[in-house]
Amino acid sequence: MRYFILVLFFPLLCAAQQEKTTRILFILDASNSMNSSWGKQTRLVGAKEVLIQAMEMFKEVPNTEIALRVYGHQVPITNDIQDCNDTKLEVPFSIGNIDVIKNKIHGLIAKGATPIARSLEAAAGDFPDTLSRNVIILITDGLESCDNNPCVIAKKLREKGIKVTPFVIGLGMDLSYLENFACIGSYSDAEDKDSFKSVLTTIIDKILTRTTVQINLNDSFKKPTETNVTLFLYEAGTENLKYTFTHTINRYNNPDTLVVDPNFKYDLIVNTLPKIEKKQISLIRNTHNTIQVDAPQGFLKFSGTATAAIRVMEKAKYETINVQLTNSQDKYLVGFYDLELLTLPRTYQRIEISQSKTTTVTITSPGTLELKSIKNNVGQVFIDKGNGLFEWVFNLDEKLLSSKYVLQPGNYKVVYRQKDQKSTGYTVEKKFKIESTKKILLTL
């Protein structure tokens, strides 16, 4: 047995009529299985605590009425008998009944069966009319234990002209268990009590705010397949961070739905490499909004036997967007990038990132130069670029008689003189070659 929340929406039958009141019916499972442990508490104790806290969200909310139906709390279940009619509307809809509902929840004891279908069927009659926005939130830890089928009840409700759109949040359930509710509608899961509280709060926010958002991170084919990146939503034109989300593709392969306050304009930052900014976003109240962002991405991988750091920049720009190590892989927006290998000497390369593909750059293993001298020297090391061109690599440390340097393979020369010699004529040149993974000793 597991723990989940099921949310059913009964919208207006007449679309032309304006919604004035939102009515939310909580159906709480108080069957015997709710006595099972859930962390340091039983399932019922934990559920009651979260639900009582959630009731505070409805205080002073205009045009909203709450009711409570409970099942499994009147007749104890035995090995031979279970009462499948054990479901009761404990607190009917009215204004200002939040404390009554909290007191009723507080005193509940888990006893009996799990008549989900009969509770849903009875709940349809708990609402005074169909002219309001009617919502059911079902909190339960298991599947139907009686002979009725919730799928059949949901079908009957739809046949009566009542559209049922549930949200199922399962605690610690595997997908095969959750999919028992696919006949009723959508579902998601939570792992612990904190997750349960968060999910319940999100559902209530959706019901009360009725303004939702999905952010489509589109690939090169304009399909919203990109995901798993942090999103920041700021109040437009300010540094006031309002929301932080990890972008998620839900079980239906769509960007997940977010609840966002429609009273603000927003600046969106998508923390890809490099980041994407979209400013002055307005939301339409009481509807589902979609924000389109072009974010096609591919992968850059560095391979090699030695550890090295590579600076990644956008093409022809000097700002560092990432420093990546060998034998690592990161995701970047599609396009061209300049790479700087942070070794001696610096080496540069331009590469292209393509949609969903991995660009692999192999880093050649360096060699080691060891310098020894009897006296202190001043001088510089250069790499031979060919055609008589030499590029500076580093200066000798005039205080050291012995030193080691890790260098990329190539032909080099060191130009130096002893520090205490006062004539340019004492300048000395020595050529040497660095080979991958090999060490050489050079005496000055």
* Nearest residue to 407 via CA among 359, 443, 442: 442
Residues 151, 16 share a domain: yes
Determine if the peptide bond prior to 345 is cis (ω within 30°).
yes
Calpha distance 139→168 (Å, rounded): 9
Report the DSSP beta bridge partners of residue 241.
234
Q: How confident is the model at residue 299 (pLDDT cuts 50, 70, 90)?
A: very high
Residues 435, 331 share a domain: no
Full domain range(s) for residue 354? 297-362
The last residue of one of the domains, among 362, 377, 406, is 362
Calpha distance 441→412 (Å, rounded): 13
* Nearest residue to 87 via CA among 55, 57, 122: 122
Residues 21, 39 share a domain: yes
Supply the mean pLDDT for the chain. Answer: 87
CATH of the domain at 226: 2.60.40.1120
Give the residue, 152 or 433, on which the prediction is more confident: 433
Q: How many domains does one find in the chain?
A: 4
Half-sphere exposure of 48 (CA within 13 A, CB side): 19
The pLDDT of 101-112, averaged and rounded, is 95
Residues in Cβ contact with 362 at an 8 Å cutoff, skipping those fewer than 6 apart: 302, 303, 304
Answer whether residue 74 shows pLDDT above 80.
Answer: yes
Give the residue, 110 or 130, on which the prediction is more confident: 110
Q: How confident is the model at residue 15 (pLDDT cuts 50, 70, 90)?
A: very low
Residues 33-72 have pLDDT tens digits of 888 888 888 888 988 999 999 999 888 788 899 999 999 9
Confidence at residue 231, expressed as pLDDT on a 0 to 100 scale: 97
Angle 379-385-387 (CA atoms, 0-180°, nearest 5)?
110
Answer whether residue 212 shows pLDDT above 50.
Answer: yes
Calpha distance 67→89 (Å, rounded): 8
Confidence at residue 184, expressed as pLDDT on a 0 to 100 scale: 65
Residues 355, 225 share a domain: no
Residues 356, 336 share a domain: yes
Residues 128, 277 share a domain: no
Residues 223, 201 share a domain: no
